[in-house]
């Protein structure tokens, strides 16, 4: 496997069909990973885009997505797909052991897991999982860690490892008023892009050729900046997939569903602090 052209895919999956899902494709060359393509939406990934383009949301067509990956790679499809969305071998109707375990271990880092419901991600999540299953991707859980693998991941916890910071990184566009109350929109946008630059700098220690040109914060609205957040989340998902392939990620959950966490994130888990 050392000399094979191995690739992984990261998807910052929207929990509804009308929102955009960021996508990042990485390929390993020797000891280093290369970013082959990254986009803030599935449509942009498949059809090509420029950063100022209007971002369009759409349900992910797995067959088309994998076909585009093959065109980009000129090689077999990705061996691991990491998705920031609740996934399970049975129907999801509410919180799962995986959500509870992540919250128990990383809640003190402000990284508790979100609560899925029957409606969110609901049918969107089931279609995405079924689409990958049709191409031979099995959900990776505590009972299964083979390839080709479909992984559930959680960027907030992965970023603890990447940034070496024991608290949730404030990088979400929609949370800037919570992160920096009382500051002007101009100040909040500047601080947001500083966080994104930190994340990209850390990702670039593992991944070459990341093409996410952060904009001048003074020239754009917060709404416009959301596309960069989605692309970065997709890259973090893809990086977590590389950790899975390196056997440096662990599943938190059970044989029905698990959230894969980079092993180095576990230094921030509750047990480490209790010790």
The residue ranking higher by pLDDT, 15 or 78, is 78
Identify any residues that bridge with 28 across adjacent strands, giving them in sequence order: 33
**Model confidence, pTM:** 0.94
Among residues of the chain, what percentage have pLDDT more than 90? 83
How many Å apart are CA 156 and CA 244, to the nearest integer? Answer: 16
How many Å apart are CA 147 and CA 8, to the nearest integer? Answer: 11
Position 232 pLDDT exceeds 60: yes
**What is the pairing mode between strands 149-153 and 80-83?**
parallel
Q: DSSP secondary structure string, the chain?
A: -TTS--EEEEEE--SSTTS--EEEEEEEETTEEEEEEEESSHHHHHH---TTSPP------HHHHHHHHHHHHSSPPPSEEEESS---SS---S--HHHHHHHHHHGGGT-PPP--BTTTBHHHHHHHHHHHHTTTPEEPBTTB--SSEEEEE-HHHHHHHHHT-SS-----GGGHHHHSTT--HHHHHHHHHHHHHHHHHHHTTTEE-----PPPGGGS-HHHHHHHHHHHHHHHHHHHHHHHHTT-EEEEE-SS-EEEEEGGGGGGSHHHHH-
Domain boundaries, the chain: 7-156+233-264
Q: What confidence tens digit (pLDDT) does each residue in 163-210 have?
A: 998 999 999 999 999 999 999 999 999 999 999 999 999 999 999 999
Q: Give residue 241's pLDDT band: very low, low, confident or very high (50, 70, 90).
A: very high
Cis peptide before 121 (omega within 30 of 0): yes
User: 107: which 2 tokens?
Assistant: 């809640």
Give me the mean pLDDT over the 216-222 stretch. 91
User: 147: which 2 tokens?
Assistant: 């390839």
């Amino acid at each position: 496997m050392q000399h094979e052209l191995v690739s992984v895919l990261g998807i910052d999956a929207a929990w509804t069909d009308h929102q955009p899902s960021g996508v990042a494709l990485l390929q390993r060359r020797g000891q280093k990973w290369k970013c082959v393509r990254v986009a803030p939406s599935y449509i942009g990934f498949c059809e090509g885009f420029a950063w100022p383009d209007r971002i369009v949301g759409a349900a992910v067509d797995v067959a088309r997505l994998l076909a585009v990956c093959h065109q980009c790679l000129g090689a077999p499809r990705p061996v691991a797909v990491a998705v920031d969305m609740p996934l399970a071998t049975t129907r999801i109707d509410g919180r799962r052991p995986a959500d509870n375990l992540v919250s128990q271990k990383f809640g003190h880092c402000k990284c508790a897991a979100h609560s899925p419901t029957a409606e969110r991600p609901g049918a969107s999540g089931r279609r995405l999982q079924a689409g990958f299953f049709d191409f031979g991707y099995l959900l990776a859980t505590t009972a299964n860690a083979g390839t080709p693998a479909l992984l559930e991941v959680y960027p907030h916890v992965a970023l603890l490892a990447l940034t070496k910071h024991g608290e949730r990184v404030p990088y979400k566009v929609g949370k800037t008023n919570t992160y920096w109350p009382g500051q002007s929109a101009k100040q909040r946008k500047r601080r947001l892009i500083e966080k994104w630059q930190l994340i990209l700098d850390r990702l670039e220690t593992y991944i070459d050729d990341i093409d996410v040109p952060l904009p001048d914060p003074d020239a754009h609205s917060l709404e416009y900046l959301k596309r960069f957040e989605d692309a970065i989340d997709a890259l973090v998902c893809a990086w977590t997939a590389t950790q899975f392939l390196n056997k440096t990620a662990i599943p938190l959950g059970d044989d029905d569903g698990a959230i894969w966490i980079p092993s180095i994130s576990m230094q921030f888990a509750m047990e480490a602090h209790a010790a």
